[in-house]
A and B are shown apart, each in its own frame.
Chain A
Amino acid sequence: MRGNAVHPGYARQTLIALRTIAWKETHRYLRIWLQTLLPPAITMTLYFVIFGNLIGPRIGPMAGHSYMEFIVPGIIMMSVITNSYMNVVSSFFGAKFQRHIEEILVSPTPNYTILIGYLAGGVGRGLLTGLIVTFISMLFTDIQIQHPAITISVAFLTALLFSLGGFLNGIFARKFDDIAIVPTFILTPLTYLGGVFYSIDLLPGVWREFSLVNPILYMVNAFRYGFLGESDIPIQTAYAIIVIFIVFSVCLSLYLLRRGVGLRT
């Protein structure tokens, strides 16, 4: 990268390239909204109907709130996590598989611009899906947001973290099976066990302690705190864990891009 900082066209090229990749990624998920935005809306509506409306009244209140109110933040966060991850992993691996990632790799676009561009797509889809699910939840319960700044910042940081996760998965993936393994065997179990449908205070001692190693628990609880003002874990700890994971994932992504892992032979 020697000489980049002094070249007069560098900043301009980088900004236009970033805008191009970010728009390309955004346009992609908007163009195929039947595959990207509609399915989570339907799935989450079913969660609200089945768990909130049908089963919820039999379960009774949780952490001082109705069961429907309790699960709404978790279900929104579940859609944010899944969609931000899936957007980046499928788009980046698709670009690798069809080899049109080479369009960017042969251009002077710096690695960090490539990363930010793809993350913009993932974060955008994650937050848009979260917003859609939030509107749907309003059809089922009169939800109030206690701490809007915390709600928005946690949603953004979580979408960013899982977009990074999708990017890393996309770098290492060699076939389509590889992009399904992580969401199926890691992401989904961790999300379901991350306190979306229950408070960890309900768990017996050892299982409660075990749950605390699940990073998704912290995100779901921090987000729930933003909505309800209630959380199983301290909010500062949640922020710290999310930020640590983000910093680590950014450094790893840039290192892998620099080494050309999965991209250059």
Chain B
Amino acid sequence: MKALSLKRLNKVYAGGVVALRDVDLEVDEGEFFGLLGPNGAGKSTIIGIVSSLVRKTCGSAEVFGHPVDREPWEAKSVLGLVPQEFNFNGFETVNQIILNQAGFYGINRRTAHERAERYLSELGLWSRRNSVSRTLSGGMKRRLMIARALIHQPRLLILDEPSAGVDIEVRRSMWTFLRRINTEGTTIILSTHYLEEAESLCRNIAIIDRGQIIENTDVRSLLRQLTAQSFLLDIQGDLAEVPVIEDFHLMPVDDSCLEVEVRSDQSLNELFARLAERNVQVVSMKNKSNRLEELFVRMLERPAEERRKPEQIETTT
């Protein structure tokens, strides 16, 4: 069963701005799917069309087999949305916002209270249930929107930049929570700028740029496209000079740190052995930057006509 199916979806805004061009996308039930792309790529337009806040120009969008334009009641009933911008009434309390949302979905008061307690507790907001929403911190507001989107227990949850402006501790707990509800059966589509987040959470991702899907695959396959990675090596003591090792390109970062590029056909063990031969001891190592992030940037830099070619991408990461 497809949780989401987009076929030849197009959107042209008033004024002629083309936001989507023939977008085809399918997300299986139970997936944790990432939708990535730069600002203005069309991510929020897709989410808007699926949630009925944006009218499509042509094409089709179905949620669990229900066209959003012809069977809106069925499609909306199984969809939960966490939008990018805060869009709740700042004068209402946390509890009022959650209970009203339950009412819009036809959930009776008793069930709504039970679910409100469950989700607000799980998201660490139960003690703030009587607080007026505008007094919450940014992280709390994000969690409130997640609780609100879950109150009708949707089969498909769409999150548009849920981690924006959220500190790392809250972000990590949010990830744990999202992983759990995904494991319990909720299909999740995550639109994010944090590629570390996509790499950590999503099994499959689609990359959209200038209104077109330029990549749609699983994260592992995508990362296999990396032919080289760059690492930062912390060295014991200060380096007198940069060691020269055949086949490895080493560059100094500072007196006790080296940057090295390692191709996929090379071994880190071999590198460490050769460094040891030269009395260079590595005390720690890390990737220079997030792998998916580097790949993402490289893909967007490719000319449009090359983007759909399944070629290997040379990268420094």
> Which A residues are closer than 8 A to B by beta carbons?
1-4, 7, 9-10, 12-17, 19-21, 24, 95, 98-100, 102-110, 260, 264-265
Chain B residues lying within 8 Å of A107, measured Cβ to Cβ, are 76, 101, 104-105
Count of chain B residues with Cβ under 8 Å from any Cβ of A?
33
User: What are 8 inter-chain pairs, A to B, with CB distance below 8 A?
Assistant: A3-B71, A13-B105, A102-B83, A103-B88, A104-B104, A107-B105, A108-B73, A264-B53
Closest chain A CB from B230 CB (angstroms): 42
Contact in complex: B104, A17 (CB < 8 Å):
yes
Interface 1/0 per residue, B67-106 and A, CB below 8 Å: 0001111101101010101011110000001001101111
Contact in complex: B104, A109 (CB < 8 Å):
yes
Closest to B152 in A: A107
With A and B bound together, what is the CA distance between A9 and B73 in angstroms? 10
Contact in complex: B73, A99 (CB < 8 Å):
no
Chain A residues lying within 8 Å of B97, measured Cβ to Cβ, are 103
Contact (A105, B70) CB under 8 Å given A16-B107, A98-B89, A100-B88: no
8 Å CB interface, B35-58 against A: 48, 51-55
Contact in complex: A264, B54 (CB < 8 Å):
yes
Contact in complex: A1, B73 (CB < 8 Å):
yes
Judged by a CB distance under 8 angstroms, whether B200 is at the interface is no
Contact in complex: A106, B79 (CB < 8 Å):
yes
Smallest CB-CB A-B distances: 7 pairs? A13-B106, A20-B103, A107-B104, A99-B87, A108-B76, A16-B106, A108-B73
Chain B residues lying within 8 Å of A7, measured Cβ to Cβ, are 73-74
Chain B residues lying within 8 Å of A109, measured Cβ to Cβ, are 104
Contact (A103, B104) CB under 8 Å given A3-B71, A108-B76: yes
With A and B bound together, what is the CA distance between A100 and B133 in angstroms? 12
Judged by a CB distance under 8 angstroms, whether B108 is at the interface is yes
With A and B bound together, what is the CA distance between A105 and B74 in angstroms? 14
Contact (A14, B106) CB under 8 Å given A3-B74, A264-B54, A265-B55: yes
Contact in complex: B71, A100 (CB < 8 Å):
no
Chain A residues lying within 8 Å of B71, measured Cβ to Cβ, are 2-4
